[in-house]
Structure 1
């Protein structure tokens, strides 16, 4: 039986080998094949110059036992100036300037996937090279790749890269990033859009489909109907399809949820629920913070909600106050008070001036290209 704990790099190493002992002969033999497959590349003398500066620039790949190299993976090891030059399109990628690169003894600010020719099984070389650049010397450098094919896109997502980079007001849908720098020039993903799929099934996401909406319903049924004996018609009140829902998952299990409805000049936060077995965690706090962030990113300045009187101190932690003219009121056998909070939207909040593509992206995923955006451009090769 296979070892299910085996890493992707270990599986790749059983099939192929990579090395960075590069010769001019190998470069000249492989470049014509690569250019026939993927288009014009750098000249052999350019690659040779860069490998003299840093041998980690190019990695030759071959099936185990092959007599000669059959493919390659090349990277640019960029300093801070080079990283910005790449993102600003100031770098000549056909002949990168030496001032943008680091030597082998230096730690780069970013590792840029320059060009790769890895036909067939040699695609496993990418996993091995990424694994190499996860070593302590490189672990603090962001990894960037420019992907133009659907095959490459899927490979980057499998390796934990995020799709699309927004840099100084310009969105680059073909750039994929693996943010690792402690002071990365990119903001982390928002609290409400965590990479659950690559994080062991744990984190917060905005609900986009019926399957996740059923998970939300399961949490609320357990908490409000099961524990608090709330009537079904009161809990599922006809507003669920007119709202945005946040779902907190723990190792794939629905653990908590929150509902937000949006009105003219305010957002209403409601239906916060955490399953009993997860209440010793910080899930409730994280859901509220994520909900506030989502409202702010949508441009709302005023937040509103109902708090059970005994839970009011919880909400006051986040800045909520009892509404000045609100009197206590009852429903479902409990007494509630109205509460409000002021929010300051960030400069990046959604705006009517953001353009059509950004405004049709999925809820909460405004920084990444959506399926409609890709359909309006050339199809993936």
Structure 2
């Protein structure tokens, strides 16, 4: 753990905190959005917000793919199980996300549906091989980080002739979401949010590189710093953003150089380009319909596309009444602004995806007890 410990040193944290307090202009506000839920949890777990001056505020963004997946897509996955009797393979976080009518995949499983938690696409392929007489569908979800494994699964299934395997694609793209947030800072039904700079997502950037963010920095005059997940990573990145804002610079900087390059993982990008293409539009929880923000399976792999193979009615489901997940995902509200948080909505009885996901903002507030404090430094 020595390598990780180097990014958690208390002495360096205090030095960075002093530098931030010294360089943050008291006459202005610094609203810095962390797009990734991993950063949100690091901020709360290590008390990073407590080391910031009052005018440096962290704004919690979309968080993770589970958080932003609309209820309708979960309804459609449930339809696959109940109407088509498929074996549905999915990652663990998705199992407890509430769908319409208080259903969830784990409740469908409890009622007899064949829903199986897997740790990788390889598990789903193995299940398909072991059950040649059953249709096996992998509920593919994730930002750019988890898309390459789905691409590998499609290639393997095609090469092996696994005719009983298909993929229900829900892969989404972070740059499109960032652009949507910057283009529409005010959403009447959700509230408004002021964002001055971004912490670029870490794992996503290891795949796509830092180059895709250069457009946002230039076009919207917002600095971006690719940040690692350790507390010193977050603090150093906050200092880098503050310096850019003070100097009137709007560029992409890479704090996470030990993992991320400008070009990213070219081999992974090629795999994705071979198997997937852009959707014209896709719904995000909290953002609504976002143009060219998600992927679909290419025609060459159409036989492995669950949306082509099965008749799936499009669901227009709505969030639980009173749940503020959509506004929280935009950064317009905090979890503590939701009347359901900590009362009706808890980890044992989640009303929305922000409490279910291990990277959700509500889960972070709950896990680290911040909801018990008067916290004016988070937004």
**TM-score normalised to the size of structure 2?**
0.24
Considering Cα pairs closer than 8 Å and 6+ residues apart, tell me whether 1 or 2 has the greater RCO: 2
Higher helix share: 2
**TM-score normalised to the size of structure 1?**
0.24
